[in-house]
Amino acid sequence: MKKLQLIRSTMMPLPMSNVDTDQIMPKEFLKRVERSGYGEYLFYDWKKDADGNLDPTFPLNSETYKNAKVLVTGSNFGTGSSREHAPWGLQDWGFDAIISTNFADIFKNNCLNIGLLPIEVNADVVEKLFKLIQEDPKTTIEISVEDNSFKCSQISASFVLDDFSKQKLIKGQDQIDITLEHQELISSFSTDRKKLIPNLD
């Protein structure tokens, strides 16, 4: 997992609420065994028109936003099923952070587990960000994971991030990395337990 300390980027707007994980990553792509390569399937149905061609009005298809690492979206983002593939697709596309008023709990945890930062702020801040992007798509936002805050033009806002998740992001550690930090203790416990129970495999 890559380290996530300071994000400085343009933003992509997705002014829609109640976006569910089946739209973020449709179910037909869940059969893949790889964890990478999901970016091309992100919002697969929404980014196409009725004829199956790429819709130039959908943000993901716009050259204007192609380098954006921050997605700004409406309320209740990531609702629906708990599929991890949705955060995988967002991260594989290139996003490092998502800003919304609120996220589905499981989706939020899945994001934090892979190093994708979900930021919750009030609706007024989100609307101001949408307005800034509309006025100038090149507007840059700077997000500090360490300080739990971001700045964008005249907007400054803070967000809640628990210390455990913050350290995971800053250090670039997933659950396995954290477990391996205690490898000596785990090995010691395993050895001692075998002494207590000789027939234990």
The tokens 């006025």 sit on which residue? Answer: 135
- pLDDT for the residue numbered 158: 97
Summarised one tens digit per residue, pLDDT across range 141-184 is: 999 999 999 999 999 999 999 999 999 999 987 766 666 565 66
Residue 6 pairs in a beta bridge with 144
**DSSP codes of every residue in 72-126:** EE-SSBTBS---THHHHHHHHHT-SEEEES-B-HHHHHHHHHHT-EEEE--HHHH
pLDDT band for position 194 (cuts 50, 70, 90): low
- Count of domains forming the chain: 1
Average pLDDT value over all residues in the chain: 90
CA distance 160 to 154: 20
Q: How far apart are the first and last CA of the chain?
A: 32
Range of the domain at 53: 6-173
127: pLDDT strictly greater than 90: yes
pLDDT digits (tens, 9 = 90+) for 8-61: 999 999 999 999 999 999 999 988 778 789 999 999 999 999 899 999 999 999
Name the pTM for this structure: 0.88
| 192 in any annotated domain | no
136 lies in some domain: yes
167 within a domain of the structure (yes/no): yes
Strand order in the sheet with 97-100: 11-14, 70-73, 97-100, 117-120
CATH number of 44's domain: 3.20.19.10
Report the pLDDT averaged over residues 65-83.
95
Whether residue 39 is contained in a domain is answered as yes
Asked if the structure places residue 198 within a domain, the reply is no
What is the DSSP track for 122-185? -HHHHHHHHHHHHH-TT--EEEETTTTEEEETTEEEE----HHHHHHHHHT--HHHHHHTTHHH
Q: Is residue 58 part of a domain?
A: yes
The answer to whether residue 90 sits within a structural domain is: yes
**What was the pLDDT predicted at 136?**
97
Structure tokens at 100: 């919304």
Q: How many CB atoms lie within 10 A of CB 161?
A: 20
